[in-house]
Amino acid sequence: MAQAQRSASTSVIVDAIRASGTVSRVGLTVTTGLTGATVSTVVRRLIDDGLVVETGRAESTGGKPRVLLELDPTARYAVGVHLDHASITCTVTDLAGTSVALSTHPGPGTRSPAEVLVETAAEVDRLVDEAGVDRSRVLGIGFVAPGPLTSDGGMHRTPPEMRAWTDYPITSELGRLTGLPVVLENDATASAIGEHWAGGTGTENSFAVLYMGTGLGAGLVLDGVAYRGSSGNAGEIGHTTLDLDGPVCWCGTRGCVEVLAGPAAVVAEARRSPDLAAAAGLSTGTSGSEPQPSVVSDLAAVARAAAAGHPGARDVLERSARYVAAAALTAVNLLDVRMLVLTGASLAAAGDIYLPAVRGVLASSLFARGAHPVDVRLSRTAATAPALGGAALVLQTHLVPAPGPLTSPGPLAPPRHGTPPGEPTPLST
């Protein structure tokens, strides 16, 4: 297992080149602490594999000019697919994590999972072609879905509006349809990774994202590593208890923030006011326990009504924001993070109400304002961060070996779910 050491050296060097943009071999020995011999060997292999290119020479302080190295972003590609009740977003990214093709289509609605995956496979093919990407350079697909997920590569505990997906073997089916390895990640964690790759979290290495789409979840990056928990289901902030005697949630306990104040609760409350429902343009045909057609678009309609000055709409959202902020405070107190990013389609639509509410509650707490302020910010890439995060996971899985002795897991460790890559990894280890 000196192999583990070589893999570790490779991942450290790839990360260092990516972080530097361009860097010389000597620069790599300085930033990585590896010997010149190790750096030379690993860089030679990366050049042979086409991942790194020599790109020019830098003036040196005496002696001969140094050859500069950089990643070749076109050497490998990855696909990210984000399945939400409201929409399906696909992206193709290059090795640097930059999106080279992107599409958004309506959510699954009443179509079967099998039908949706056939369409998704066709859309992946179309995007790869559209981007002019050599298919042999596509490493795999990161499939992003609402959690909780299972180690069998599917969704086991589905929210009510996605019951048809329960235990459907997403990774094996999509893998079969596309011939690509598929890894699975939940939307909140993928958002956190996507925000990080898109630069939305700057240099912060411990942060949480509060993800509100159809449901409510948190993505956690702790001490630089995406934290997934013992079964890959960490971050279930939607099931933070806020009222011990509150209504029963679909998770089985009472008074969760999701049942009290999540998007479906907001829309249901808005629908109970005929005046507000009419002003926002909500359908009034269904109510009670029936799944709603698109919670996300209905919540966005309520947010538009609030922005247009409808006081009832504002009240409904502010009530929700008060609960969501309390759950955010609990998470920040438990995790001691310096940054919280609000993301997901619902928070993107109503951020002007949720952002000040969360900031206000965090500012009122000794802990949150004590040792350091908590930077609460709205995502600028809420719509695309989950799909981008899915693609980034594929790159990570292939470029960074699994943690082991002498291995730093790198900024974002590989995911636990999904089929193992069906092809040899591009880096010889």
Residues 206-225, one symbol each (x = binds a second copy by CB under 8 A, - = not), give x-----------x---xx-x
Measured from the CB atom, the residue of 331 and 393 that comes closer to a second copy is 331
User: Is residue 403 part of the contact set for a second copy (CB under 8 A)?
Assistant: yes
First and final CA of the chain: distance in angstroms? Answer: 10
CA distance 174 to 5: 34
Binding map of a second copy across residues 92-131, x = CB under 8 A, - = no contact: ----------------------------------------
Residue of the chain from 364, 402, 422, 423 that contacts a second copy (CB under 8 A): 364
In angstroms, rounded to a whole number, what is the distance separating the alpha carbons of residues 429 and 426? 9
DSSP 16-33: HHHHHSSEEHHHHHHHH-
User: What is the size of the binding site for a second copy (CB under 8 A)?
Assistant: 70
Q: Taking CB under 8 A as the rule, does residue 157 contact a second copy?
A: yes
Where does this chain touch a second copy (CB under 8 A) — which range of 272-280, 291-299, 378-386, 404-412?
404-412
Nearer to a second copy (CB atom), residue 12 or residue 139: 12
Contact between 166 and a second copy (CB under 8 A)?
no
Q: Which is nearer to a second copy, 283 or 428 (CB)?
A: 428
Exposure b/e, 359-372, CB count within 10 A at least 16 = b: bebbeeeeebeeee
Q: How many residues are there in the chain?
A: 429
Q: Does 195 bind a second copy (CB under 8 A)?
A: no
Cα–Cα distance measured from residue 65 to residue 274, given in angstroms and rounded to the nearest whole number: 74
Report the residue from 361, 387, 388, 392 that binds a second copy according to the rule CB under 8 A: 361
85 vs 98: CA distance, rounded Å:
25
CA pair distance 86, 297, nearest whole angstrom: 8
Window 310-349: residues binding a second copy (CB under 8 A): 322-323, 326-327, 329-331, 333-338
Burial of 172 (0-12, 13-18, 19+ CB in 10 A): middle
Q: How far is Cα 293 from Cα 317, in angstroms, rounded to an integer? A: 20
> Quick one: which segment of 8-16, 73-81, 159-167, 381-389 binds a second copy (CB under 8 A)?
8-16
| Cα–Cα distance for residue pair 133/100, rounded to 1 Å | 9
Chain residues binding a second copy by CB under 8 A are 1-5, 8-9, 12, 32-35, 148, 150-151, 156-157, 206, 218, 222-223, 225, 227-237, 239-244, 250-253, 322-323, 326-327, 329-331, 333-338, 361, 364-367, 370-372, 403-408
